[in-house]
Amino acid sequence: MKEINSFPQTLTIAGTDSGGGAGVMADMKTMQECGVFSTAVIVAVTAQNTIGVQDFQALSPKMIDQQFDSIHDDFAIKACKTGMLADAEHVELVYNNLKKYDFGPFVLDPVMIAKGGAQLISDEGIEMIKTKLITLATLVTPNIPEAEALTDMKIHDQEGMIIVAQKIQALGAQNVLIKGGHGNSDVVRDLVLLENGETFWMNSQRIQTVRTHGTGDTISSAIVSRLALGDDMKDAILFGKRFVEAAIKNTIQVGHGHGPLNHWAYNEEMIGHGV
């Protein structure tokens, strides 16, 4: 018989997506596909689908604190992540709980700017991420608009991405992944800056599709899963990139708007290759 809590366990701290494509739903689907057991602290509940967000409600501080307590008291979390955190009050709540409990490597997905450009959290919330939450991050995974918001600096080229990554690291994050999906170039270039100063690029062909809802949640969850399984940071990030590429490339036809990823595509590809 295996020892209790020997199976790798992860935690997502984020909001729900009733449409199933992003947030906690995307996180847990991804983690399941990556071979870990996922748990969740729900920060907010949304009514949404592939067309948009119709309503939103943040949970009470008491309920959020209790969820953290419940997870800590029963599970052996090996790695965790955050996603959408609603507002400054809830960012601080999460910060305080992550200071209180050791849930292993922490991946901060700073959900602040939507693909369409809309700001998803108040200026006060962004400031709380910049000054507090990011100081706990083993890895931070902003898209380009979020990286710009974290540093108050515009990115115009690859050199600008490197400078911004260094500025984000100076805020306290150990490792930085800037996702290059925003834009219209044929090649998507993601930049990684590791704790030891090593930088490298991950390049992929842009896939022309509107079915990319939950991309940030998915790659960060795949990375968390691999960290929980014992990968080093570089290998976990490279795996996350492969996982999300497969999920975008092998589309599923769900919803009438900005559709979700195919979260089981990576494992289907591996079966097809005889892995």
pLDDT over 80 (residue 185): no
Q: Comparing 214 with 174, which gets the higher pLDDT?
A: 174
**Amino acid 121: pLDDT:** 87
**Amino acid 228: pLDDT:** 98
pLDDT over 70 (residue 255): yes
Indicate the pLDDT class of residue 128, thresholds 50, 70 and 90.
Answer: very high
Q: How far apart are CA 143 and CA 180, in angstroms?
A: 6
**Amino acid 116: pLDDT:** 56
**Amino acid 204: pLDDT:** 85
List C-alpha distances in Å: 182 to 116, 231, 247: 10, 28, 17
pLDDT over 80 (residue 192): yes
Q: How far apart are CA 85 and CA 43, in angstroms?
A: 6
- Read off the pLDDT of residues 206-253 as tens digits, 9 standing for 90 and up: 888 888 889 999 999 999 999 999 999 999 999 999 999 999 999 899
Asked if residues 102 and 74 have their Cβ atoms less than 8 Å apart, the reply is no
**Amino acid 274: pLDDT:** 57
pLDDT over 70 (residue 65): yes
**Amino acid 112: pLDDT:** 87
pLDDT over 90 (residue 272): no
What rounded mean pLDDT belongs to the chain? Answer: 93
List C-alpha distances in Å: 6 to 9, 33, 63, 75, 228: 9, 18, 28, 10, 11
Q: Comparing 207 with 137, which gets the higher pLDDT?
A: 137
For the chain, which domains are there?
A: 9-272 (3.40.1190.20)
Three-class SS of 147-168 = HHHHHCCCCCCHHHHHHHHHHH
Q: How far apart are CA 248 and CA 151, in angstroms?
A: 29
pLDDT over 80 (residue 120): no
Q: How far apart are CA 147 and CA 199, in angstroms?
A: 16
pTM score, two decimals? 0.95
**Amino acid 273: pLDDT:** 61
**Amino acid 183: pLDDT:** 66
Lowest mean pLDDT among 33-47, 94-108, 135-149, 200-214: 200-214
